[in-house]
């Protein structure tokens, strides 16, 4: 069935690298601030006498807030794009940082995590749309440039926490409001470009939203992609939320040393994201998904039994390989449901990440009851869900049906 697409066609014929760099930079700033939450978990655990279940609840509060709102924002903005929402979302993150820095009670910490989640919910769908509009048809490259900003931000956050927040104390989190202010400034400029691009696009023919496959196969493929993202995000949540504690308990590292190890993993994820998009553009999404999800299984299975040196090596390999799948998954989903960029971003940046947050809370309860070691042994099997890739349609079948 063909319907009218309310999402404008890409307004540029060439790749707008300046906008892609700007939106990627803001993604980095956004995720630096988001990653501070998990990076200061050891400090919050000590200051507020938290158990692992309460740590998991902080992750849950952040990710589920983003999860509940991102699909709503994405579906709404598919019909009515909101360029000015980009700086507004960054303002919500600004408020969340203030609460993390000065909250006197645990419930206010949860509220701060929720404000950061709201900022994420508003930012990701519209920023993903801007990346696609500025891609000039190089969708994998555009998604990689957009997403790698977030990965670098997530990687840098623990380092900044280790060398700024840990020595200076929790109130120093407020200094990162300067980063939020810079993001607001840049996103104000991007929103002007976005608004102008929408004005130009209104005079063009609306894009065809005909599904490239029968509706049942499209739904099945989207569910499979969501499960693959879900497995990836559960594993990533186990690392980002509890890896520092695992290193401290298992190898008796200091908080700063454990955060340096976390940086290695997150930096490897950033590098993997850079590779995933262009490789997917060149060879197709399916080979990237196969290798990234299922191919990482031997390394995740070995990680819980490795010594400190090999823990570092394996974490880098896992981050590099696992992260390369996400740009390919997003582009694949966008091809399955053309013209619904916001909905796809809402599902894969929102719902799947929110499910990762729920899993983080469950993993925290398990860690309290049975120990961190068991959590990592269980999570090591998650990449086996990569076998579901066999249910995805090939690029040839997409073209044949279209």
27-48 pLDDT, tens digit each: 999 888 887 887 788 888 888 9
Report how far Cα 89 is from the mean position of its chain's Cα atoms: 16
Q: Which tokens is 168 given? A: 């200076």
Regions in the chain scoring below 70 on pLDDT: 1-13, 203-212, 349-357, 395, 397-402
Q: Which of 361, 120, 254 is nearest to 262 (CA)?
A: 254
Residues 74, 71: Cα–Cα separation, whole Å: 5
Q: Under a CB-based contact definition with an 8 Å cutoff, are residues 159 and 263 in contact?
A: yes
CATH label of the domain that carries residue 353: 1.20.1250.20
Query: 3-state class of 11 per DSSP?
Result: coil
In a domain, 348, yes or no: yes
In a domain, 12, yes or no: no
Residue 261 vs residues 88, 292, 323: alpha-carbon distances, Å: 34, 21, 17
Q: Can you tell me which residue has the tokens 């000065």?
A: 102
* pLDDT for the residue 353: 64
Residues 185, 179: Cα–Cα separation, whole Å: 10
Q: Which tokens is 237 given? A: 């949540």
User: Angle at Cα 29 formed by Cα 186 and Cα 329, nearest 5°?
Assistant: 105
* pLDDT for the residue 1: 34
Q: Which tokens is 76 given? A: 């709404």
Q: Under a CB-based contact definition with an 8 Å cutoff, are residues 81 and 16 in contact?
A: no
In a domain, 92, yes or no: yes
- The runs of H, that is alpha helices, within 40-84 are 41-47, 52-79
Q: At what angle do helices 285-293 and 308-323 cross, to 10 degrees?
A: 160
In a domain, 11, yes or no: no
Give the pTM.
0.68
Mean pLDDT of all residues in the chain? Answer: 82
Q: Under a CB-based contact definition with an 8 Å cutoff, are residues 231 and 22 in contact?
A: no
Q: Which tokens is 112 given? A: 């701060």
Domain range for residue 232? 17-401
* pLDDT for the residue 6: 41
Residues 331, 140: Cα–Cα separation, whole Å: 6
Residues 324, 382: Cα–Cα separation, whole Å: 16
In a domain, 10, yes or no: no
- Span between the terminal Cα atoms of the chain, in Å: 12
In a domain, 7, yes or no: no
* pLDDT for the residue 324: 83
Residues 388, 206: Cα–Cα separation, whole Å: 34
Sign for the CA dihedral angle at 113, 157, 127, 132 comes to: negative
Query: 3-state class of 208 per DSSP?
Result: strand
Report how many domains make up the chain: 1
Beta bridge partners of 4: 208
């Amino acid at each position: 069935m063909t319907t009218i697409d309310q999402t404008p066609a890409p307004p540029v014929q060439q790749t707008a690298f300046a906008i892609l760099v700007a939106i990627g930079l803001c993604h980095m700033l956004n995720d630096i601030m988001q990653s501070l939450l998990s990076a200061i978990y050891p400090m919050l655990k000590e200051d507020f006498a938290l158990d692992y279940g309460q740590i998991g609840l902080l992750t849950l509060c952040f990710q589920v807030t983003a999860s509940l709102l991102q699909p709503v924002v994405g579906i709404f903005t598919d019909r009515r794009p909101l360029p000015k929402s980009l700086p507004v979302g960054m303002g919500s993150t600004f408020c969340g940082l203030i609460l993390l820095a000065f909250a006197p009670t645990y419930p206010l910490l949860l509220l701060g995590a929720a404000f950061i989640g709201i900022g994420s919910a508003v930012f990701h769908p519209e920023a993903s749309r801007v990346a696609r509009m500025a891609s000039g048809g190089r969708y994998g490259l555009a998604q990689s440039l957009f997403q790698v900003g977030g990965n670098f931000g997530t990687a840098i956050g623990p380092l900044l926490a280790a060398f700024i927040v840990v020595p200076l104390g929790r109130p120093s989190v407020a200094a990162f409001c300067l980063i939020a202010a810079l993001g607001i400034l840049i996103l104000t400029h991007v929103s002007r470009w976005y608004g102008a691009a929408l004005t130009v696009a209104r005079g063009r023919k609306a894009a065809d939203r005909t599904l490239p496959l029968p509706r049942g196969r499209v739904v099945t493929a989207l569910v499979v992609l969501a499960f693959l993202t879900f497995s990836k995000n559960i594993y990533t949540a186990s690392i980002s939320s509890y890896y520092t504690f695992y290193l401290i308990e298992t190898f008796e590292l200091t908080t700063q040393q454990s955060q340096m190890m976390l940086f290695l993993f997150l930096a490897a994820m950033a590098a993997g994201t850079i590779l995933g998009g262009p490789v997917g553009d060149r060879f197709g999404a399916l080979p990237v998904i196969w290798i990234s999800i299922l191919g990482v299984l031997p390394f995740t299975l070995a990680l819980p039994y490795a010594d400190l040196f090999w823990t570092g090596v394996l974490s880098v390999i896992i981050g590099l390989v696992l992260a390369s799948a996400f740009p390919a998954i997003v582009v694949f989903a966008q091809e399955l449901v053309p013209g619904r960029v916001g909905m796809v971003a809402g599902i894969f940046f929102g719902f799947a990440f929110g499910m990762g947050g729920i899993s983080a809370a469950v993993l925290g309860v398990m860690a309290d009851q049975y120990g961190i070691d068991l959590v990592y042994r269980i999570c090591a099997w998650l990449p086996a869900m990569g076998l579901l890739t066999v249910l995805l349609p090939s690029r040839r079948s997409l073209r044949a049906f279209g």
